[in-house]
Structure 1
Amino acid sequence: MSARKPVTGSKSASEGKAEGKAAPAPRRRLPVEEREKQILAGAIQFFAQHGFDGQTRVLAQEIGITHALLYHYFPSKQALIERVYVELFESRWKTEWETLLDADDITPEDKLVRFYCDYASSVLTREFVRIFVYSGLSDHYITDNFFNLLREKLFPRLVRETRRYAGVTSRAKPSDRELELLLGLHGGIFYTGVRRWIYGQQIPARKDDPNGEGFIADRVQSYLLTASSILEEPKRGGARTRSRSPRQGSTETEKRPASPARTGKRIAGRNAKET
C-alpha cells in the first residue's frame, strides 16, 4: 500500500477569502496640530460644497476620521465654524492693505486700484465666496463678523480717500450715503466671485490683462467720478450750482415766475379798465 503524498499548493476556502480581501490599513496617528489642520481643511471644503446644514457625521467620514475624534478636537459644530472663520476670513486680512491706504504719496485712485486688485486675488476664492454666501443664508455668523472687520479697518479708509479725491475736507464719520456709494464698488467687485463660484459663469479676461485688473480700474474710476460729483463741497461765497445744458434745438430761456402780489395787481388793473 503506497503512502499518500501530502497535498501542496491547495488552500482552504477561508484562507482564500482572507487573502482576497485586503485588511484595512490602520489609521495613522497624527500629531495634534497636524490632525487639527486636517480636520479644518476638510471642514472648509465640506462647508463650501454643502453649506452649514451638512452633518458632522458625514464630514468626519469624508475626512476619514471617527465622529468621536472630530468632537475631541472641536466640541461643537459652532466651534468648528468659528475656527473656519478665523482660518479662511480673518487670517486673509493683510496689514499691508492698511499701510497702502494710509500712504501720503499715492493718489486715491491708485490706492483703490492697487488695493482691490490684491484683495480680489487674495479673497475671491471658491471656498471664501461659497462659505460667505452660505453663512448669509444661515446664521450670519461669518458674514456679520467679516462685515464688522471691514467697517473697522477698511471702509473708513476708503471713504477718507474718496473724500480726498472729491476735495471734501470733512472728517466726520462716514455717512450712510457715502457708505452706500462705497458698497456699490465693493459689492460689484465681490460679485465677480459670485458669478464664477455660485452661478458658474465665465468671467471675461483680456489677453493683455488675464487677472482682470483693467476691469477693477474701470470700476474704481467710475465710482470715484460718481462720488466726486455727488459729494463735492459747495464753493466759497455761495451754494454749489450745477450748470444745466439747454435742451437741444431750444432757444427759449427760462423765465422767473411772477410773484403772487404782482400777479394780483395786474389782474386788478385789468378789471378796472374793463369797467
Structure 2
Amino acid sequence: MTRRSRWVALLGSAAMLIATDAVTDLAVLRAERADLPPAPFRTELPPPGEPVVALGSPLGFLNSVTAGIVSGVGREIPGSASQGNALVDLIQTDAAISPGNSGGALADHGGRVIGINDAYLPPQTGAVSIGFAIPAATALDIADDLLDDGRVTQPYLGVAVARLTPQIAQSLNAGTDRGVLVRDVDPDGPSAAADLRPGDIVTQQVAGERTDTLEAFLGALRSVEPGERVPVTYLRDGDAGSTTVTSTAATR
C-alpha cells in the first residue's frame, strides 16, 4: 500500500491522508493543526451495559453526539465473517449511529476512546439502534502498522474457513456443530505443511483460545504473530487430532 498526500477535512481543520486499510475500513490522518490535544485510548474491552457516547457527523450534522450503552462485545456484522477478512470482535452499541458517523469515536464517560464507529444495521433489517465500533486496541494495531510502512501485516495460516452449520456437521458425521469448517487449504501454505485438510473441523482451541464459532476463530487469530507456532485441535472423519501451524506474514 502506498502513502498518499491528499488533504481532507477533519473536524474543521485540514488533515493529510497518510495510509489506509480497506479491509478494516481504517485510515491514518495527520492533522495540519498542532494544538489539538490527543485523545486517550482505552484498549481493554468495555463490559456490556457501560454508558458510552458516539461522536461523528451523521447526515451532515457536524460534531454530533449520541448516547447509549455497550450492548455487547465480540460481535460481527451479520454475514461478514463468511467473506474471509471480516471485521470481528466488534463492540455493539445502542448509541445512535447513522451515515456519517463512521470514523468517529465511541467514547466512555471518562472521555477515553474505546472504539471507532464503523457500521449500523438499517431500519429495513428490522433492527433498532444496533451499531458497531472497531475496538480501540484493533485500531491502534492497524495504525501502528500503517505508520511503520503504509501496510498492514497479519499472520497467515494458509487456510480458508467457513461456518459449521448443523447440516454440514451432520453430513460429515462430526458429532458436533461447535467448531469451524476448513473449506480450503493453500497447498504451499503453513496449514498444509501441518497436515490440515479440507473437511477438517477446527475445534476447542487455536493458540489457546476457544474456537466454537467462526467469529471466535477469526478473533483468536488477532493474538497470533507472524512466525508463531499455533496449536490447533481438529476433528477428521469423527476422530480427534492436533497439530501445530507455524504462521507466516501476510501484508496488504
Give me the TM-score of the superposition, normalised by structure 1.
Answer: 0.24
Higher strand residue share: 2
Greater RCO (CA < 8 Å, at least 6 residues apart): 1
Higher helix residue share: 1
Give me the TM-score of the superposition, normalised by structure 2.
Answer: 0.25
Q: Greater Rg, structure 1 or structure 2?
A: 1
